[in-house]
Structure 1
Amino acid sequence: MLTTISWIALAIGIICTIIIAIDVIRHPQMMRIMNIVWPINGWFFGPFAVWAYFKWGRLKAKDANKEDDRNKSAKVFVSASHCAGGCTFGDIVGVPIVAMTGIAIAGSTLFAHYLVEFILAYLFGIAFQFLAIYPMDKDQGVMQSFKKSIKADTLSVITFQIGMFGWMAIVHYLLFTNPPNPSEPSYWFMMQIAMIIGFLVSFPPNWWLVRKGIKEAM
């Protein structure tokens, strides 16, 4: 039953990613990195990501002809989605690295996943933030934009990964006697849930960062 549910969830995520990607190609975002972020979020947020994209994302397309009437919650949601996109990309890249190399820390592959995926999620998260800041701030130079990116996204990335890793620990130690591995659809279904939890955990810090002016409301 879990395998069937996993295949259905993964199929829905892929379909939602394709739907968003096709529309993004037709209606590119003003902020280029969002052309990547929205489809990535479609993979784990599924139909909700499609709804959010057409309700809020399309307002920031280059050819948008509607007034941007989003409230603060919607703008923070997009900011958190931007962070989630970078983290998710890093996590997805990290999984096969650990699986193919067979590395372990203290005899645990879970801890290896934590280390590798955190490093990659942080690097991609900061890179995604840099690609949002630098085009609007070129006069201040690369290093200044890089520093702003670190300041704006470090807390967001850390909290996203805390939420995700917490769910991975539950899966590994509580839900399964034999935890699924990356060759099984149930593993990736658990990862979809992990990304959603990571997003929910990172939303309050993103709200705080925006309120303090450390991070721009997107």
Structure 2
Amino acid sequence: MVLQPTWLVALSWAVLFVSLASTAVIVIDHFVLRYRQPMKVMEIVWPATGLYFGPAAVLAYRQWGRPQSPRWRERHRIPPRRSRHAITIIETLHCATHCVLGAIIATLVTFGFSLELFGKRLWPEFIGDYVAAVAVGLAFRYFTGADTGGRRAWAAMRRFLRGDLLSVSVFELALLGWLALMELMVFHETLLPSSPVFWLIVQIGLIMGFFAAWPPTLWLIRHGAKAELLSPPR
């Protein structure tokens, strides 16, 4: 068994605490201070971003998320400044949230049920991670769609395949590649979700996945497949 250094455990606890605190700050801003988002899915995206980007997520939210709320717009006459990279960043974070929630779901299921494939828990965890990320993405598209009846499911699937699948797949490739390297070559599958080091490794992988998914997301935006999350509220 690979012994985890004390400094690494302490660092992992510190990072985990800061990340959870960052998520709490955003949630409080949404539901206590009432800076609600016009696109309700962003009330999932921003807190989820805090889980791995920590204070950077809070800064991004204050810059681009809070100014989208009707409450902020009632108090400010000047439109918020928007970086030319803002749309790409927000759209990438949107797809990243599919993978964040997918990773949490897959981890809980894999370790909760002690699943293994070919004698390793790594493979069902990876398969479950990707499948859960796709399922979450489809659910996001379904519940934010304007269609009704059976057309809503088909519309959600088309929107996901057209606008999200590429980014999610690239994100997952980077995330799962990093996790495989760490678990097989460094920790030799000794990491468990009960260890803060496990979650630190996952957080680093999520950040790597975000930057890996940035280029394909930009490509999708330029081809008209994605461009709605920073639209002003009606």
TM-score for the superposition, normalised by structure 1: 0.92
Shift of 1:178: 5.2
Distance 1:20 1:54, change over 3 A: same
Structure 1 distance, partners of 2:203, 2:17, is 12
Partner of 2:58: 50
The structure number with the bigger radius of gyration is 2
Contact 1:82 1:128 in 2 (8 A): no
Please tell me whether the aligned partners of residues 30 and 43 of structure 2 are also in contact (alpha carbons under 8 angstroms). Answer: yes
> 2:205 is matched with which residue?
194
Identical amino acids, percent of aligned pairs: 31
SS at 1:70 equivalent:
coil
Partner-residue secondary structure (3-state), 1:72: coil
- Asked if 2 retains the 8 angstrom alpha-carbon contact of 1:29 and 1:58, the reply is yes
Query: What is the aligned residue count?
Result: 216
- Aligned twin of 2:26: 20
| TM-score under structure 2 length normalisation | 0.86
Q: 1:121 aligns with which of 92, 111, 133?
A: 133
Q: Give the residue type in structure 1 aligned to 2:203.
A: Q
Structure 1 residue 71: Cα displacement: 3.3
* Aligned-residue offset at 1:68: 4.4
Q: Is the 8 A contact 1:129 1:153 kept in 2?
A: no
Aligned to 2:220: 209
Q: CA RMSD in A?
A: 2.0
The letter for the 1-side match of 2:93 is S
1:39 aligns with 2:51: no
Bigger helix share? 1
Instruction: Give CA deviations for 1:171-208 in whole Å, capped at 9, x if unaligned.
Output: 11222245311121110111111111111111111100
Q: What is the Cα deviation at residue 16 of structure 1?
A: 0.1
| Contact 1:126–1:153 (8 Å) recurs in 2 | no
Gaps (5+ residues) in structure 1? Answer: none
Q: Give the deviation of 1:61 after TM superposition.
A: 1.3
Q: Does the 8 Å CA contact 1:6/1:188 hold for their aligned counterparts? A: yes
2:14 equivalent to 1:8: yes
The farther-off stretch of 144-153 and 159-168 is 144-153
